[in-house]
Homo-oligomer: A and B are copies of this chain.
Amino acid sequence: MSVLQTLVVLSFLFTSSYGLVQDFCVGELSLPDTPAGYACKKESTVTVDDFTFSGLAAMGNTSNIIKAAVTPAFAAQFPGINGLGVSMARLDLAVGGVVPLHTHPAGSEILIVVQGTICAGFISGGGNKVYIKNLKKGDIMAFPQGLLHFQLNAGGIPALAFVSFSSQSPGLQITDFALFANDFPTELVAATTFLDAATIKKLKGVLGGTG
């Protein structure tokens, strides 16, 4: 019957093609990744659960030195966004909590405050100009790609924010961790930051660094 023929004609062509080239590319984490992301999971094995994620529903553990927690939903945690060029993360800031100065090497960010008050800022590279603002519930702020930025709880109650990124894998580099939470030789840290050895060793002690 002609209806079936339609279905045969069109479905065959495009279903077959999409068995191979899909409308999406759910990441198959067991395969090597590529510069464009993970290889695609077989479409026949993809379900709606690949496109949903509950990992941001629970508050992160803020019982730590920064009284803050960052919970990512990047491609590595949420393979359904592989190839889609967007990701999210949850930011919990206890009273007094802070996300130290950091960058996302591969993505721009938008933050939206869902609870509490957050003081956020970034520094431009060209003129070293500082852009800082107190954000209330519902406010959003943009942080251009790769620039140093921070967020801290500016209120008396725990703060909650969600952040979006222009990449499925924006990365994260926390300046203090890059300097003091590894075996970066103290004399090289000193030579490249103008910090004195005593200050460096003290922070390495706090953050678990050596050398």
Partner of A98, one of B109, B110, B169, B191: B191
Mostly helix, strand, loop or mixed at chain A's interface? mixed
- Assess whether B110 is in contact with A87, with CB atoms less than 8 Å apart: yes
Rounded to whole angstroms, the CA-CA distance of A179 and B150 in the bound complex is 12
Interface pair B48/A39, CB less than 8 Å apart: no
Question: Residue A83 at the B interface, CB < 8 A?
Answer: yes
Q: Which residues of chain B come closer than 8 Å to A150, judged between CB atoms? A: 188, 191-192
Residue of B nearest to A54 (CB): B139
B residues less than 8 Å from A91 (CB atoms): none
Q: Which residues of B contact A107 (CB under 8 A)?
A: 86
Complex: how many Å from CA A178 to CA B74? 28
**Which residues in chain A, 135-167, are within 8 Å of chain B measured between CB atoms?**
135-148, 150, 152, 162, 164-166
Instruction: Report whether B128 and A178 are in contact in the complex, using a CB–CB cutoff of 8 Å.
Output: yes
The answer to whether A183 touches B130, judged by C-beta atoms less than 8 angstroms apart, is yes
Q: How far is the CA of A64 from the CA of B181 in the complex (A)?
A: 30
Q: Give the residue of B85, B106, B123 whose beta carbon is less than 8 angstroms from that of A173.
A: B123
Chain B residues near A5 (CB, 8 Å)?
61, 63-65
Closest 8 CB pairs of A and B: A18-B126, A57-B138, A105-B146, A35-B83, A164-B164, A125-B173, A17-B76, A85-B166
Residues of chain A in range 84-126 having any CB-CB distance to chain B below 8 Å: 84-88, 98-101, 103-110, 112, 114, 119, 121-126
Q: Measured between alpha carbons, how far is A177 from B13 in the docked complex, in Å? A: 14
Could you say which residues of chain B place their CB within 8 Å of the CB of A23?
105-106, 124-126, 144, 146-147, 171, 173
CB distance from A62 to the nearest CB of B (A): 9
Q: Please, which residues of chain B bring their CB within 8 A of the CB of A24? A: 124, 144
24 contacts between A and B (CB under 8 A): A2-B63, A2-B64, A7-B181, A15-B126, A18-B126, A19-B76, A21-B74, A23-B126, A34-B40, A34-B83, A52-B141, A58-B138, A86-B165, A88-B164, A123-B182, A125-B172, A125-B178, A126-B171, A128-B174, A128-B178, A148-B173, A194-B206, A196-B199, A199-B199
